[in-house]
Amino acid sequence: MNATAIVFYALAGLACASAFMVIWSRNVMHSALYLVPTFLSVAAIYVMLRAEFVAAVQVLVYAGGILVLFLFVIMLVNVKAVQGARLRLHGAVSGSIGAASIALLLSVYGRGRILAAAPDGGKLTEFGGNLETVGWVLYNEYLLPFEIASLFLLVAMVGAIVLARHKA
Per rule CB under 8 A, is residue 119 in the interface with another protein?
A: no
Per rule CB under 8 A, is residue 122 in the interface with another protein?
A: no
User: Which residues, 124 to 143, sit near another protein by CB under 8 A?
Assistant: 128-132
User: Which residues, 44 to 63, sit near another protein by CB under 8 A?
Assistant: 52-53, 56-57, 59-60, 63
Q: Please, which residue, 12 or 131, has the CB nearer to another protein? A: 131
Report helix, strand or coil for 151. Answer: helix
Q: Please, which residue, 69 or 89, has the CB nearer to another protein? A: 69
**What is d(CA 46, CA 58) in angstroms, rounded to the nearest whole number?**
9
Per rule CB under 8 A, is residue 121 in the interface with another protein?
A: no
Per rule CB under 8 A, is residue 6 in the interface with another protein?
A: no
CB of 64 to another protein, least distance (A): 3
- Quick note: the x/- pattern for another protein over 14-43, rule CB under 8 A, is ---------------xx--x--x-------
27 phi and psi angles, rounded to 5 deg: -90, 125
Count of Cβ atoms closer than 10 Å to residue 156 Cβ = 10
Cα separations in angstroms, 135 against 27, 80, 82, 122? 40, 45, 43, 16
- Quick note: the x/- pattern for another protein over 70-99, rule CB under 8 A, is -xx--xx-----------------------
Q: What angle do CA 14, 51, 155 make, to 5 degrees?
A: 95
**What is d(CA 38, CA 155) in angstroms, rounded to the nearest whole number?**
30
Name the strand (E) or helix (H) holding 7: helix 3-24
Q: Is the Cβ–Cβ distance between 19 and 6 less than 8 Å?
A: no
CB of 131 to another protein, least distance (A): 5
Q: Point out which residues bind another protein (CB under 8 A).
A: 29-30, 33, 36, 52-53, 56-57, 59-60, 63-65, 68-69, 71-72, 75-76, 128-132
